[in-house]
Amino acid sequence: MSSVIETIQTLLVDLPTIRPHKLSMTTMARQTLVIVRMRHSDGIEGLGEGTTIGGLSYGPESPESIKRNIDTYLAPLLIGQPSGNLNALRARLERHARGNSIAKSALETALLDAQGKRLGLSVAELLGGARHDHLPVLWTLASGDTRKDIDEAFQRLEDRRHCDFKLKIGANAVDHDVRHVAAIKEALGDRASIRVDVNQAWDEATAVRGIAALQAAGIDLIEQAIPAREHAGLVRLSQRFLVPMLADEAVQDARDGLTLAASGFSGAYALKIAKSGGLQGVLELAHVAQAAGIGLYGGTLLEGTIGTAASLHAWATLGEMAWGTEMFGPLLLKDDIVVEQLTYHDFGVDLPKGPGLGITLDEEKLAHYARNH
């Protein structure tokens, strides 16, 4: 008899960050992970994670809503169903539940982790096989203090931890942000690639002015300068400037990717398993981008180790990530809830080994940081 899904438990886990992390929409001092523990009748447990940024600051799902919607609506759709047919289970969720891409991503991750453990295969092997076992990882300089950011960048270079850096801007006046970014680029010179993420903070006119100045300062990539739904404006910006545009919130899934590419967008897409409802959905978007000649970038919602590992298994199957990845989420946290942490070295991170995600929970740490436990 085939295995069936028996129980799905969700936990809110609050982990402090190593420093305040400033974005255009919020400043983070902790990250809340929604951890999924999916148990099957054959005794196997699959792990998943759903994470967003700053409660409701980033998008329509909060950690609390992710947990509640899994517990109330999504878990009942899966409990009692056969464990092994991931396509059928994914279709069942899509048929009965709208949206909730982060919650669905957490569940799909848990299903893939369990299936990998069941078959003795890694998640990357389930997805066709890893083409890389070490992926580049950038670091976000988000203290907001120019001198601190420069010192932090030089330390990361010295440690061979990161050689590409992203700056979160948009919360301040454009001229202030440009001076901040330009000073960091000047200090680092050719030793590092500098990119910026505006997090949708500018209108198109402001973006034209800001991007022109950033391009002159030698910035390599501009992420989501204007609101996500302004596709036409994003296309115009991509065609106006030599510095590439990175579409993030504007491309949730493969359909968005096709629409934007067909409209004449050039540049890159930020891939995030949370945006696309899971690993299979994000790879569908990646394949659309590859067919359209659009670059790939492995993005994050600042997931912990479980969510980061899931993303790495997906990115490892892709031929080229032209703009690397930002899978540094665990490094932003003061502590972790796993037994063996990810291995960061030589400006990147190793793909975890072992069946499934290759991740084991530290039960004591989980109990310590779980909310209301």
The residues assigned a catalytic role are 168, 326
User: What 3-state DSSP class applies to 348?
Assistant: strand
DSSP 8-state secondary structure symbol assigned to residue 331:
G
In whole angstroms, what is the distance from residue 276 CA to residue 195 CA? 23
User: What 3-state DSSP class applies to 159?
Assistant: coil
Provide φ and ψ at 105, rounded to 5°: -60, -40
* Nearest CA among 135, 60, 55 for reference residue 99: 60
Provide φ and ψ at 228, rounded to 5°: -60, -35
CA 241 to chain CA mean position, Å: 26
> 253 and 287 in contact (C-beta within 8 Å)?
no
In whole angstroms, what is the distance from residue 102 CA to residue 123 CA? 18
Instruction: Give the burial string for 75-97 (b: 16+ CB within 10 Å, else e).
Output: bebbeeeebbebeebbeebeeee
